[in-house]
Structures are given as C-alpha cells and as structure tokens.
Structure 1
Amino acid sequence: MATHSSILAWRSLWTEKPGGLQSMGSQESDTTESHHHLPLAGFLPPECRYRLVVTAAVGAPPPCGFPIGGGLRGPAPRRQERPDASMAATGAAATDLEVVRGKRAALFFATVVIVLGLPLWWKTTETYRAPLPYSQISGLNSLKLRLMVPVTVVFTQESVPLDDQEKLPFTVVHEREIPLKYKLKIKCRFQKAYRRALDHEEAALSLGNIQEAEAMLAEPSEQAEGSLTVYVISERCSLLPQDMMSYIGPKRMAVVRGITHREAFNIIGRLIIQVVQAMSLTEDVLAAALADHLPEDKWSSDKRRPLKSSLGYEITFSLLNPDPKSHDVHWDIEGAVRRYVQPFLSALSAAGNFSVDSQILYYAVLGVNPRFDSASSSYYLAAHSLPHVINPVESRLGSSAASLYPVLNFLLYVPELAHSPLYIQDKDGAPVATNAFHSPRWGGIMVYNVDPKAYNGSQLPVRVEVDMMRVMEVFLAQLRLLFGIAQPQLPPKCLFFGPKSEGIMTWELDRLLWARSVENLATATTTLTSLAQLLGKISNIVIKDDVASEVYRAVAAVQKAAAELSSGHLASAFAASQEAVTSSERAFFDPSLLHLLYFPDDQKFAIYIPLFLPMAVPILLSLFKIFLETRKSWKKPEKTD
C-alpha cells in the first residue's frame, strides 16, 4: 500500500448483488475499471451497504475498516459523535426559532393595534360633530338688506298737467342708504308705480270729507302689509284744507295735493317721499330696533326703550293699595281690558302673542319717602328718586323668571292717606301731567290720587272708584312707547289724524314689522356667528344632528327673510325672521352642547393611559429592538470568497 502526502478523496459506491458485494469508483467504472466480486458480504456491517462519500486524510482508515490498498482487514471500529456539539447546535437552532417567533408576535400585535385598535379607539372616543355651514354663516356678516316699500301713486284728473298725464303709467325707484354703524348694510328702496285713478277712486276723492273718502277707498280691497297708496288730488280740490299739502290717516293711505307746473312730477315726487318716509322706515326706527347691536355712544337711552322682539309677551296690571284702612279701592279691570287693551293687542297680534292678567296688592308701599311741599300742601317724588321706586315694588309683583316671554308691569298706585296727594316731578321740577312714569323694557307706574272731597263727612275707609278710561289712556301710551311705536315725524303742512279705538294705525304696525324683521335678522346673525366661533374654539363640544339641522334652518330662514324684504313681502319676511331667531337660539342654547364641555382632552388621556400603557410598553420596546437589529444587519458587510 502506497502512502500519499496530500489529501485523498475516496468515493466508493457499494452495492449488494446476489453473487456478493460490488464496489464501483464512479459512474464510469463499468467500462474503465475491473470488477471485484467479494463473497464476504455477510461480514460487512449494515451501514456499509449504502452509498457513502468519505473524505479522509493521510493514514486515515477507509470506510468499514477496508485498507487503502484494497484488502479486507475486518470491520473497523465505529466513529463516536461528540454529544456536546450536537446539543449546542440543537439549542442554537431552538433559540433562533424562538427569536423569530418573538419578532413575528411583536409585529403581529403592533399591526393589530395600529390597524384595528387605534382606529377603533379613536372612533369610539371621538366627539361627534355634525357638519355645519360655516362658510354660509361667515357670509351673513356681510349681508346687505334692501327694504323695498311698494308705493302706488294714483293721479286724479287735473292733478297734474295733461302732458304729464299722458306719460302714465310708469315706475320710479328711489333708493337711499340708512347710515348706521353696523355690519349689516341697510338700504331703503321706494318703488313708486304711477297710474291714473279708477272710477270708484275718482268718486271717493270727489267727496268733501277726507275720512269718508278714506273709508270708501278702503272698502274694495285690503292692501298688503308694507305697501302704501298715495292719492294725488287737484290743486283746487276741497278734500284738504287750503293750507294743507298732504294728509296721513290711520290706514295705508295718504293724500297729496297736486300742482300744475311743468316740473309737477319732480315736485310731487319729493313730497311723496316725505310722506312715505313718515309712514314707513326712518333712521330712528331702525336705530331703536338695532339699539342692542349699535355702539352705546351712538344713540341715547330712549332708543333702547323698546322691547326686544319675542314670540309672545305677558302684561300684568297691578293695583297697589298701601292703606286699605283708609281706601276701599274698586277698579273694573276686566271691562277696561276688554274695551281699551284688547283692541290694541288684537291689532298687534301679527307681532306676537299676548296674555293679560291682573292683581291687587295690599300694604305695598313705595321704596322712597316722598317729600312735602308746603307751598302746595302736597307730596312729590323727584325725578332722580324714581328708579329707586321699582325695586321694592317688584319683589311683591311675583317673579317673572318662570315666564318664557318678556313681562310688562303696569302699576296703579293709590297713595296712603298720610302722603296724599302725591305728584311726580320731571327733571325741571314741574309736575308731570299724567302723574306717571315708565321704565324701559319693564313697564310703567301711575299715581292715582283720591279726590279730597271724598273725605268730607265720610268714614274710613273711603270708597274709591277708579276712572279706568283715564288710567288706560296712560297705560296705552306707555305700551306704545315700550313697543317702539313713537309719534311720526310729519312733513310740513300735513294733516294728521291719530289712531282710532285700536290705539295703533295700520301703517304703524307695518313700520313695527319692518323694525322687528331687521332686529330678528341682526339677532339671528349674531347668534349664529357666536355659535360658529364657539364651536370652532372648543373642539370637544358635541354637535348633534338636531343642532345642525336647527343651524341649517336658521341660515335658510335668514336668507329667505332677506330675499322677501328685498321683494317687498313684509308678512312672509317677518315670519321667516322669527323662524331664524327661534332656530338660532334653539341651537345655541341646546343642552347637548354642554355634555362634554367639562371633559377636556387631558382628562381623557389621564383615564386611558393607565389602561393602555402596560400593553403598549412591551410592544414598543419589541419594535424598537427589532428596528435596531434590522439596522445592524443592514450595516453588516457581506463576506466574499
């Protein structure tokens, strides 16, 4: 057997055949090498009957104990494997498998938390906020109101020259901007439609009495709210006194004296504008309506006297008898309300709903001690002490906090015998003719003195019958002022008849509706703007669907009211403005807006962090470790042969 100095590779293929054991060096050994048939197959161990590839060094024994030279020396001793190396390899493989499983588990949990957990938590804990028309609400601040007053100008025969009569009919538009320092730009537009008089109108205007003519002209048809009709009569017509150029009555009608001049239309047009402005919209009327929205230095306190627009009002008449031992006072309040107050409230029914009640309070005294005037042997209340009268009395009237609508109080005070007679003085120290005063947006007080002759030869208590007509005249005048119905600013040489038994003229009601419509639009716009700003600043306020629907309804009502005002439809414009105010305030004061107002985000995280932190920390640490290992494997250089 020869020795070799280099590594020798053995490649033997052992196969068992029926005649013995055959050894083949390679696949081509069938043709290049001789076959050796060994009959000693039974002496070979079982492991040597299979194909083996053995690499041995010099002097290493061949497989199965055969010598390198090819002889058989018997079975070689079996090679023992090292148990420590096998166990170490098995442990390393198990450790690698556990690491892979840990990485996969961490990635799986992180994926579940990010894909499912966080969206589910965010959706279940988010504050529901229905979408609102923020762009439309912001556009309301630049809203431009055009208040159109439809005016029909009717010319009778010989009221203008014949050349001008041939130009009829035609329409003239006169527009002017009302200078108010307010974000709403208000323009008043008078659309004058000129036409000739009809036959029944000519017959009515030919009468000698203006009131009969007005009654006859009002019979055929009733005019729409907010519209006016001006009749132009001839210069020599006896319907008006010769020193009068115009007439304003209780209905939506006026009369203007014509003129035979080549500039007749221009002269008459200017006179018509003066009359129409007195009967419709003026700067003072709108300033009083927008008193709460204008700077305080712009208008006096008188402009803030009218009541705010509301869906209803409660009126309370109270009789104060501080000395029932001396005065047995009787008043027919039910009959007075039926005769004087109810017609006035019926005429005002378009502006709101009214409820009336009455009460008698005994031993109710004023909170101010009157001063004695020795010159007149009477007592008086100075003007500066009148504000101190209301507070002590108001505590006896009953609380108005439970009322949904504004409450107006009208007090009839019969002074006690020790302070009779009692008079009210104005700022100049002169006694007030009506012996009454009123407080803005609260009501009025009238002092009713008992006739001194009632004490002659009479035993106490003296029976006192209140003159309700005189009392109701004062209370109705105060009620008009509290509703902003002031005396009109008449043009020069204008004949004017006051209201009839209703206590209010028809065009005064229209003017009140104009003012209330503008006030409602201003209030609704301010409320919606404030609500949008509030919801924009505080993100955890819940906006429910019903609140959003009220906001949408209010915005649509504001836009509708503005469109109706520009078209001259006063009744529908006022109804839309009321809806705008009602919907905007219902949305602003909805209780659901305060549900999560006191549950800010820091409290939310303070509640959820103790629950989620124990679960999140292991996941985050595992992800961080995986990231570090991945980055380390990316930076490790690859081995090259």
Structure 2
Amino acid sequence: MEETSDHPNPTTDTPGTTPEPDLETMRSSKPGLKRLLITTTVLFSFLSGLPFLWKSVEIYRSQLPFHDIDSLSDQVKSAPLRFPCTFHAVFVGFGSNDPDQLRSEIQDGVNQLIGESSQCGSCNVSISVTVQSPDELCSETFPSTCSYRCGVIKRDSFGRGLDDAVDESLDDVFSGCSGGIGKMYSVVVVNKENGDEVKAVVGKRRHAWIVGSGLEERFGEVVGRVSEVFVKVFMNGGREEGDSIRGEFMPVGSDGRLVLSFSLLNSNPRDWIYDWDFQRIDEALLAPVTKALAPIANISVESQVLYHTPKSSFSSWDEKLQSYIFRTSDLPFFVNSNEWHLDTSAGASGRSKILQFVVYIPSGKECPLHLQLPNEEISKTNGFISPMWGGVIVWNPRSCDKDSESPSTNTISPQDLEKIVEVFLGQFRQLFGFKSEATYTSELGSYKILPSERGFTEWELDVLSRKHTCFNLRSCATTLGSLSRLVQSLPRMIIKDEIGEQVKYSLKAAKLAQSNASLGGYSSSASSSREARSLAENAFFHPSIMSVSYFSYEHCFAVYSPFFLPVAGHVVLAALREWRRYKQEKAKYLTWLTRKKAA
C-alpha cells in the first residue's frame, strides 16, 4: 500500500507561522516614493514655469477711464450743448409801449423760432428791452442786461450816414454793455417821423437796426422782425436748415488743421505765361481771415504756379456772346486730376484738410472762356465751388492775342488779383455754409448784411464757434466711445501709456469746452473742443493699436503649444500613472499588514 503524507499548503494559515503574500493582491514590503517624487518634481517644474511664461507674453494695457468716456457720451447725446446769449432790443421813438410787454412778445417769438430748430449750438436766451419815447425818456425791463444811456440815439439823425459808420456808432453806444454771461446782441428799432421806407441792416459786429416811419402802428410786424433777427440771423447765421452745410462737412481736418492751397494754372504756356505776387495778397487780405478763424482751425496758406494744365471738359464758341462758354453740366469734368498736380502740400499731415483754390488761365484756343449759368446768363464771378474740395476761377487775360513764339512772363495786376481773392473769400464762405451774397431775405422782409474785411462778421464767427464746438464734442465722444468698446472687446490689445494720456487729456479738454460754453466763452470753447477731437483721433489711430505685436489668446496658444504641449502632456500622464501605481502598491501593502495582524 502506497504511503501518503500531507505537505503543508503555503496559502493555509498555520499557527505560529507568517503567511506568505499573494503577489497579485498583496506585497510584504512598503512601496517606495522615489519614482513618484521624480515625476512630481518634473511636473512641478513645468507648473512653476507657467507664471514666467505668462509674464513673458503679457500685453501691457494702460488703464483707460471707461466710466468718464461713457459719461461724456451720455451727456453729448442726452443734453445738447447750448450757449448763453443775451439779446437787447432798443425801441426809439415809441411812446406808449410797455417794455415788459415787448419783452414778453419778443420772448414768445424767439421761443417759437427756436422750437422749430432747437439743436446743439443754439442759445439759452436772455432778453431785455429799452423803450425810448419821442421826448427821450427811457423805460426798461428789470433786470436789464445793458446799461443803455438814454437819449444817445437820436431818431431823426439816426441812419443818415454810411452803414459802416452807423455800425461803429452802435458799437460805441453798447460798449458799456457786458451782457452778463455770453455775447450780447442788440437790435435798434427807430421809428422816424418822416416817410422813409423801412430799412433793415445787420452790421459786421453784433448789432442790427431797423429804421422807418409808422413802425409803432405796425407793432406786431416789428416784434416779429426783431425776433427773426435774433434767431434767424444772430443764432443761425442767416442759414436755412436745408441750405446750411452740416457739421460733419465742415472743411476742417480731424486734427484741427486746414491748409489753403492757391494754385495759378497756365493751361498752355506757349500762348502766354502769367505769374502773381501772392505774398502781398496773403499779408493784406488772407492774414486777417486766418487770424479770425484761429479758434476754429489752425490755418496755413501756400501757393504754387503750374504749367501745361488743360481742363478735362470741352468748351464751345458762342457767336452771340463772342466767347467760348462752358456750362454747369460741364463742371464735374472741368478739374483735370491727371494733369493738375495740386496735392503737393508739404504742410498737410495725414488727417489735415486741404482746400484747393485754383485760378485757371485758358489757352489761346479758348479765350475768352466764360461760365454760362442755367438761365443762360454769364456768371459774374466766372467761378464755381466743389464742396469739401475748394473752388475754381477762370481768369481771362485782358487781351486774347497770343504772345510771340517765346512768350515772356506776365504778372497779374494787383487790382485783378484783389478781385480774384475777393471771389475766393466768397467761395470760402460758401464752403463754411454761409451765403456769398450780402442780403438775407425772409417772409417779413429783407436785411442788408454788411461785409467784413476779415471775410466773416463777428456774429458769423460766433455761429461758427458754436456749431464747430458741438460738432467737435460729438466727434470726440463718438471716437472715444468707439475706442472704449474696441479696447474692452479685445483684451489682448496693446494700450500704451501715450494712448492713455491722450484719452485723459481729450476728456479734460472736452470738459473744459463744456465749461467754457456754459460761461459764454465762444472762442475758448471752440479751441478746447478742437483739441479734444484731435487728441481723441490721435488715440484712436495710434500706430501701436494695429501693431503686429497684437495677438489673441487663440493665437498665443497656437504659437506656444507646439513647443510645450507634447512634453507637458507626457509629464502629466507620467505623473498620473505613477500616482495610480503608488496607490495600488500601497493598497497591496496594507492588505498584507491586515492579513499579518489577523494571523
């Protein structure tokens, strides 16, 4: 019989012996941390480098005052800017009229006219009235905005001299009137005893006068004309709403600069050659204009003489007029942009505005050359304007006989050159939205407007200052608002300190313009608003904004991921795998300890 013996089972617990571990579920030694520490050290070295990487790709952004920008935009949109204006009416030769009643009726007429065209740049009106009786006794409203010296204006002798002398005398009469806050405008109504017809004149300063007989009987008409002068002329500049050039078409660059480029074009120098003494005209006629418009624009003047500059359009011979004519339908094709090299200004920057004023001398084949109007009459100025571009004058030599084969250089006479510049000033006024003729006609009558040697009267300069201030502030608020939205929508856009300073100074200038406007400082508000718009444009079009160093988060990830993502992915996966392995091995060790304690 075969003998058998029982061999001990290594997996069976035997009293007094230590159980041997199952290698799949247990281990008898404690797992080491060396591999885990190595992988975690490599991982943390990558993580510690992330702040340095983020710092190296950080975009510098100057803090912009977004709240102040939004506040300026809301103010410009919700509360149109209005200027204080003081109106003073003097009625001479009126007996039984109450000044308070006159002021009330004038106020109603002004409010009605303002209500029809209330817009940015209009006036907060303050009206006062003085009534001087035929016995030179005065009564006035209280409080009065003007300390009028009673009896200074004599109704029998008023208006007998030249209109310019009357304007100067009224300026002396109202020289003691401060007008409180804002500019003071006056209208003098003189009721004469004789049978003179009604004459209405608007001076070149801030005064107007209406002279005639029987005005006291036509009380309603007189009040209506006074209200009309205050609103239609002094406030709106004699411009109808449909005829005036809107603010966005003001011929001033966004940087506040305006270049007046005068060009003398010799169409065919083989026929004749003309030159001009432009420096004398610049000093005598143009310098006062540029000085008067200094608060509105920084104006510079330049001139040039060009040769071989034919026009693009054709002219035809008119037997009746004995001249060559070109019609208004030919004006769009008159300027020859291929041959007229006018845009050669060295003083104009990128955002400056250039107005071209051209004197065109026709060749001998089309001399004399005249512009025929649609009513088949010949233009008195023989010129035309192109909005936002400039003006052209066709100047015909006194004699259309050609010179010799080698023509000598002729000089335009000072008298002809002065007439040319006067036409240019009329075109310049039209480009700013004013009428070239010296009259204003309405339903109540016509008004003669005295021209100024500076091209613009004082009340016209006030109108330009008010309108231009409003347009500049709107443009400034719009530009800064666009910059604010752009910066907030692109968090990786570079914003340098220079841009931040320009925005802050622009807001400061805009607030100063609003403050000056509320105090009646027309010129100072126009200058400040021009600076505010220029700084806002400089900030928006700063070269660094569209620099190649700008990139988004997606672009940053696409650039750096090929360098760091493959290695970082392996390191992270290795750390996770090692951490999982360490937990499993530790669990085996704990299981073995539990079995050991149970045995």
TM-score, normalised with respect to structure 2: 0.75
Q: Residue 151 of structure 1 aligns with which residue?
A: 86
Q: Residue 55 of structure 2 aligns with which residue?
A: 123
Contact preservation (8 Å) 2:252, 2:258? no
Letter in 2 for 1:613: L
Q: Residue 365 of structure 2 aligns with which residue?
A: 418
Deviation at 1:275, TM superposition (A): 0.9
Q: Residue 9 of structure 2 aligns with which residue?
A: none
Q: Does residue 311 of the first structure (1) align with residue 256 of the second (2)?
A: yes
Tell me: CA distance 1:609–1:515, structure 2 relative to 1, closer, same or farther (3 Å): same
Deviation at 1:126, TM superposition (A): 2.1
Secondary structure, in 3 states, of the residue corresponding to 1:397? coil
The CA deviation string for residues 382-428 of structure 1, in whole angstroms up to 9 with x for no partner, is 32332223233664335247622322222222211122121223345
Deviation at 1:478, TM superposition (A): 1.0
Contact preservation (8 Å) 1:561, 1:577? yes
Q: Residue 568 of structure 1 aligns with which residue?
A: 520
Q: Residue 524 of structure 1 aligns with which residue?
A: 476
Structure-2 separation of matches of 1:443 and 1:324: 24
Q: Residue 379 of structure 2 aligns with which residue?
A: 432
1:336 pairs, out of 269, 281, 299, with 281
Q: Residue 34 of structure 2 aligns with which residue?
A: 101
RCO comparison, higher one (Cα < 8 Å, 6+):
2
Q: Residue 158 of structure 2 aligns with which residue?
A: 208
Q: Does residue 407 of the first structure (1) align with residue 357 of the second (2)?
A: no
Q: Residue 62 of structure 1 aligns with which residue?
A: none
Structure-2 separation of matches of 1:608 and 1:457: 77
Contact preservation (8 Å) 2:147, 2:177? no
Structure-1 separation of matches of 2:512 and 2:206: 25
Contact preservation (8 Å) 1:409, 1:442? yes
Deviation at 1:464, TM superposition (A): 6.9
Deviation at 1:577, TM superposition (A): 0.6
- Correspondence 1:417-496 to 2 at 5 A: 417-427=364-374, 429-452=376-399, 455=401, 461=407, 465-466=412-413, 467-486=416-435, 489-491=440-442, 492-496=444-448
Tell me: CA distance 1:626–1:478, structure 2 relative to 1, closer, same or farther (3 Å): same
Deviation at 1:510, TM superposition (A): 0.9
Secondary structure, in 3 states, of the residue corresponding to 2:124? strand
Structure-2 separation of matches of 1:392 and 1:226: 46
1:134 pairs, out of 66, 71, 86, with 66
Deviation at 1:448, TM superposition (A): 1.5
- Correspondence 1:264-343 to 2 at 5 A: 270-277=224-231, 278-281=233-236, 284=240, 288=244, 290=246, 292=248, 304=249, 306-307=251-252, 311-343=256-288
Letter in 2 for 1:358: S
Q: Residue 52 of structure 1 aligns with which residue?
A: none
Deviation at 1:565, TM superposition (A): 2.8
Is 369-378 or 432-441 further displaced after alignment?
A: 369-378
Q: Residue 243 of structure 1 aligns with which residue?
A: 197
Q: Which has the larger radius of gyration?
A: 1
Secondary structure, in 3 states, of the residue corresponding to 1:517? helix
Q: Does residue 608 of the first structure (1) align with residue 560 of the second (2)?
A: yes
Is 574-583 or 406-415 further displaced after alignment?
A: 406-415
Tell me: CA distance 1:138–1:237, structure 2 relative to 1, closer, same or farther (3 Å): farther
- Correspondence 1:544-559 to 2 at 5 A: 544-559=496-511
Q: Does residue 619 of the first structure (1) align with residue 564 of the second (2)?
A: no
Letter in 2 for 1:208: F
Contact preservation (8 Å) 1:169, 1:194? no
* C-alpha RMSD of matched pairs (Å): 4.5
Letter in 2 for 1:280: M
Letter in 2 for 1:349: A
Structure-1 separation of matches of 2:587 and 2:198: 107
Tell me: CA distance 1:622–1:261, structure 2 relative to 1, closer, same or farther (3 Å): farther
Letter in 1 for 2:36: K
Structure-1 separation of matches of 2:543 and 2:526: 28
The CA deviation string for residues 213-258 of structure 1, in whole angstroms up to 9 with x for no partner, is 43234244697896132244453478xx843375321101223579
Contact preservation (8 Å) 1:436, 1:447? yes
Letter in 2 for 1:469: E
Q: Does residue 346 of the first structure (1) align with residue 279 of the second (2)?
A: no
Structure-2 separation of matches of 1:248 and 1:157: 17
Deviation at 1:164, TM superposition (A): 3.7
Letter in 2 for 1:229: Y
Letter in 2 for 1:281: N
Deviation at 1:568, TM superposition (A): 2.9
Structure-1 separation of matches of 2:347 and 2:190: 59
Deviation at 1:543, TM superposition (A): 0.8
Contact preservation (8 Å) 1:153, 1:193? yes
Letter in 2 for 1:386: L
Q: Residue 297 of structure 1 aligns with which residue?
A: none
Contact preservation (8 Å) 2:263, 2:358? yes
Contact preservation (8 Å) 2:372, 2:378? yes
Deviation at 1:618, TM superposition (A): 3.8
2:328 pairs, out of 374, 379, 383, with 383
Q: Residue 578 of structure 1 aligns with which residue?
A: 530
Tell me: CA distance 1:172–1:457, structure 2 relative to 1, closer, same or farther (3 Å): closer
Letter in 1 for 2:498: D
- Correspondence 1:507-522 to 2 at 5 A: 507-522=459-474
Tell me: CA distance 1:268–1:310, structure 2 relative to 1, closer, same or farther (3 Å): farther
Q: Residue 184 of structure 2 aligns with which residue?
A: 228
The CA deviation string for residues 576-610 of structure 1, in whole angstroms up to 9 with x for no partner, is 21121111011011111122465444442233223
Letter in 2 for 1:497: I
Structure-1 separation of matches of 2:89 and 2:427: 37
Structure-2 separation of matches of 1:151 and 1:497: 21
Contact preservation (8 Å) 2:328, 2:374? yes
Contact preservation (8 Å) 1:410, 1:445? yes
Tell me: CA distance 1:305–1:620, structure 2 relative to 1, closer, same or farther (3 Å): closer
Letter in 1 for 2:459: W
TM-score, normalised with respect to structure 1: 0.71
The CA deviation string for residues 334-391 of structure 1, in whole angstroms up to 9 with x for no partner, is 3333333233333223322332232222222222332233444432223233222323
Structure-2 separation of matches of 1:267 and 1:606: 78
Tell me: CA distance 1:510–1:402, structure 2 relative to 1, closer, same or farther (3 Å): closer
